[in-house]
Structures are given as structure tokens and as C-alpha cells.
């Protein structure tokens, strides 16, 4: 082993590394330049533990980007162009990498070793940074913890690689093969919301989907989300758990809305205490149903993406029900992940929406995320119905979402029209895998509750 390798900081600090595996990877590429594509799909120059290996791999990468042949001569010439040949111990060391080396058939195994050692070093560096910040005690502990969780999560995401599968492998991966894949009875059904036309148009909310429910303030975003959550948790056919993260309302306020909506009791009468015997009986029945319902509410202010991720994983591991829905109320109130000093709010909100989409896919749970709209619908002359462009600080919200739905209540804009009272529309403005359109609903003011219009009950059965 060379003197440079022995004095490299990674060895002095005892960081995980495997020089033999790194030499095998580099030597294999020098022996067969086509092997670089295999290595580059999993490794970057920073994954090598010592400087000279990083430099050699980087010059190989430069040659590949220019579509030039990779071998001992071309790599040596590339190193000389950057005055780096001496820093990698010259031609002698470069020649030693593939000298006498047979064709390697298990290159993937060596690549995996190099990648794993690199991941261990990155975790050590991330932990050292966390320890340093803790020792200085200059930042809020919650911020340090959130950053540490975020850094480790990024390491996990960077390690995960999507695997390209042939159509045959996809079919074979289905239990029962091609016939099972084609069987309509085995199609994955989404979680029903209780709103029949919405479920008919969407097939329900499917695992891994990000659903954005947006509206102007006081249109009923929270009410509609809670109505859906209540249906999921109390569905007699197959109740599922619901996690509600509220950054705007307290647990008690949400519970009040749920119990009054379920018991069909005027919220104002409930708060004032003026209830008759029938209302008290309905509230008692609603409370009994809610007591047993698997609805989990978190009203922690300043909840971050990492907080939600950690709490959901813990919930899934401990509860007896399948997690059927996650509700976040609402997107713009969430603290954004740190994107640097030059970031703006649009980028930050975009990072939040992207993070929730990735989380929904990872946890295999639909995310119903509430979002504010800009003032554009109110300023629009004539038709005040929301549009996708009205999403506040939209950034990549529209791009990340599988569905975008808007709540529109015409009575808000035409208060003198008594005939419009209680009319509501759920506008499905985007659906990645289905149609868009308008869904008529009824809004019951006194219960803060949305319901299906009477005519839809003659059509499709409830999911």
C-alpha cells in the first residue's frame, strides 16, 4: 500500500473503506471501458474513499461524457491534461490497477461494497455535523433534530435505485401471473370518500397518491376533509385508520366539528350549551362512534415533513388498523425544509409538495393535503370558479399532485341569492389517471358538513 494511502485522513480516522474493492472497480473499467456504465449507475467520484481513486473515476466520467474510449492510455492522458497524474502516483499506479487482472464477472458485488462503505462514511459525517451543532448549542434543538432526520432521509433516498423491469417480470411479479393481472375483480380499489360522484370519477383515493384540496378561506376545506376522514374511519365494510395533522386548528376544535357533523347538531348550539334532549342523544351516539373510530389527530404547530414521516411510521407499526388516509391541514402553514439562503417561498412550498408525494409513495398511503388559493378567483370578473393557476405559491404543487380538487360555493360571491344557499361544487381540475369535471354537493351550514345531493343515491353504490 502506498504512503499516500496510509496517511490519507480516512485511514487516520478509521473511516469505513475497502481499497481492494475500489481497485477492482477501477481496474475492471480500465480492462473493459464498457463496464463504466455499470459502475456509474451506482457510484459517483465521492463514493471512493481516497483522493487518487476519486480523481481517476472523475476523469473516466469526463471521457464517458465526451463519448471517448476509456482505457489505461486515455485515462492517463486525461489526468495529464489536469496535471493530476502525479497526484495519483503516476503511470505506475494506474497500470497496477488492471495489470494481470482477469475479466471480472461479479463487478456488481464490488460496486455494492464501495457504495455501502461510502454510505457509512456519509452517515458518520452527518452524525459529526449533528454532534458539532449540539455542542455549540446555537440553534434550537428541534431544528437540529429536524435537520439530522432530513439528512439521514436524503441518504436513504439517494441509496434507493429504481429497478428497470421487463414486462414479463412485471406480469410474473403478480400473484397468479398474467391472468390475475387481467382479472377486473383483482383491480386495486381506492379508499372511498363517501361522496359518490367523486368516488365514481376517481375510483377512490389510491395508495401513493397526493391529492390537493384547495379553496379560498372559509369555503370548507377542513370540513370536507374531515367528512372524508370520518367516512374512511367509520366505513362499516372496511374501516381504516386516518391520521390528521392540523397546523391551524386544535384537537378539541377538530373533535367538535367531527362530533357535530356526525350527530347533525348545530355547532353554535353545542358551544353555547343550549341543547334539547334529542340533540343530546344524537351527540351521545356520535361520541360513541367517534370514541371507537381509528382517527388520530396531531395539532402540533410547526410540524415538519420529518415529523410527519416519523409519526406515521410509528403509528403504522403500533395500530391494529390499516392506515387508509393522511390529512394535512394545510400546506402553506408547514415550515419549509432548508434550501439555502437564496431560496424563495415558491421553491419551499414546491419542496413540501414533492416531499409529501414521495412520502405517500413510500408509505403506500393516500395523502389529502389542503392548500390555500390566491385572491385571483375573487378578482376575476364573472366566473369565480378556481383554476389550477390560482394555487397559492404553486411551484410544483400541480406537477406533483395526482389529483387537484377545488371547492366552490357560489353563495359566497352572491349572498343576495337565497336559491344558491347550500349549493357547492367540488371541481376536479386535475386527475392523472382519470377524467376531470364538476361534482355537485350540498353544504349544511349549521353542521359544517358536505353531503351528496339526493339524486346521486339512485345511481352508484357507496364505496
Helices within 235-293 (DSSP H only):
251-263, 267-272, 277-292
Residue 459 annotated among the catalytic residues of the structure: no
Whole-angstrom Cα distance, residue 130 to residue 144? 7
| Per-residue cell: 45 | 467520484
Cα 46 to Cα 49, 50, 58, 97, 98: the distances in Å are 7, 9, 9, 19, 21
Q: By CB neighbour count within 10 A (0-12 exposed, 13-18 middle, 19+ buried), where does 209 fall? A: buried
Contact 440, 197 (CB under 8 A): yes
- Other beta carbons within 10 angstroms of residue 352's beta carbon come to 25
Cα 1 to Cα 79, 343, 379: the distances in Å are 21, 46, 73
CB burial readout 101-121, b (16+ within 10 A) else e: eeebeebeebbebbbebbbeb
Exactly one of 248, 279, 322, 411 is catalytic; which is it?
A: 248
Which amino acids are annotated catalytic? 248
Amino acid at each position: 500500500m502506498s504512503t499516500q494511502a496510509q496517511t490519507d485522513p480516512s485511514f487516520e480516522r478509521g473511516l469505513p473503506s475497502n481499497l481492494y474493492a475500489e481497485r477492482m472497480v477501477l481496474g475492471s473499467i480500465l480492462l473493459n471501458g464498457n463496464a463504466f456504465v455499470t459502475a456509474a449507475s451506482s457510484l459517483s467520484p465521492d463514493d471512493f474513499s481516497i483522493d487518487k481513486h476519486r480523481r481517476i473515476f472523475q476523469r473516466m466520467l469526463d471521457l464517458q461524457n465526451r463519448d471517448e474510449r476509456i482505457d489505461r492510455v486515455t485515462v492517463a492522458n486525461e489526468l495529464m491534461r489536469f496535471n493530476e497524474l502525479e497526484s495519483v502516483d503516476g503511470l505506475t499506479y494506474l497500470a497496477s490497477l488492471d495489470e494481470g487482472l482477469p475479466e471480472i464477472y461479479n463487478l456488481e458485488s464490488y460496486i455494492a461494497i464501495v457504495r455501502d462503505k461510502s454510505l457509512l462514511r456519509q452517515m458518520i459525517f452527518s452524525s459529526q455535523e449533528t454532534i458539532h451543532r449540539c455542542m455549540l448549542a446555537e440553534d434550537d434543538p428541534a431544528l437540529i433534530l429536524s435537520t439530522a432526520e432530513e439528512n439521514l432521509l436524503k441518504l436513504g433516498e439517494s441509496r434507493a435505485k429504481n429497478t428497470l423491469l421487463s414486462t414479463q417480470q412485471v406480469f410474473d411479479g403478480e400473484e397468479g401471473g398474467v391472468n390475475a393481472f387481467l382479472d377486473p375483480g383483482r383491480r386495486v380499489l381506492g379508499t372511498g370518500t363517501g361522496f359518490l360522484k367523486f368516488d365514481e370519477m376517481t375510483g377512490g383515493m389510491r395508495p401513493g397518491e397526493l391529492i390537493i384540496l384547495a379553496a379560498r378561506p372559509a369555503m370548507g376545506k377542513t370540513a370536507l376533509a374531515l367528512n372524508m376522514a370520518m367516512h374512511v374511519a367509520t366505513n362499516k365494510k372496511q374501516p381504516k385508520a386516518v391520521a390528521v395533522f392540523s397546523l391551524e386548528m386544535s384537537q378539541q376544535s377538530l373533535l367538535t366539528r367531527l362530533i357535530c357533523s356526525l350527530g347533525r347538531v348545530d355547532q353554535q348550539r353545542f358551544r353555547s350549551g343550549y341543547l334539547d334532549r334529542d340533540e343530546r342523544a344524537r351527540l351521545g351516539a356520535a361520541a360513541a362512534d367517534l370514541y371507537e373510530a381509528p382517527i388520530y389527530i396531531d395539532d402540533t404547530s410547526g410540524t415538519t415533513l420529518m415529523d410527519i414521516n416519523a409519526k406515521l411510521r410509528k403509528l403504522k407499526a403500533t395500530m391494529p388498523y390499516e392506515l387508509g388516509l393522511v390529512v394535512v391541514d394545510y400546506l402553506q402553514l408547514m415550515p419549509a425544509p432548508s434550501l439555502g439562503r437564496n431560496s424563495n417561498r415558491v421553491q419551499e412550498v414546491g419542496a413540501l409538495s414533492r416531499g409529501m408525494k414521495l412520502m405517500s409513495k413510500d408509505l403506500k398511503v393516500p395523502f389529502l393535503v389542503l392548500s390555500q388559493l390566491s385572491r385571483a378567483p375573487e378578482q376575476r370578473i364573472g366566473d369565480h370558479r378556481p383554476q389550477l393557476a390560482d394555487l397559492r405559491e404553486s411551484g410544483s404543487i400541480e406537477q406533483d399532485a395526482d389529483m387537484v380538487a377545488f371547492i366552490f360555493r357560489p353563495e359566497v360571491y352572491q349572498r343576495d341569492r337565497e336559491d344558491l344557499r347550500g349549493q357547492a361544487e367540488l371541481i376536479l381540475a386535475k386527475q392523472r389517471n382519470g377524467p376531470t369535471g364538476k361534482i355537485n354537493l350540498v353544504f349544511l351550514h349549521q353542521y359544517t358538513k358536505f353531503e351528496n345531493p339526493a339524486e346521486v343515491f339512485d345511481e352508484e353504490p357507496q364505496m
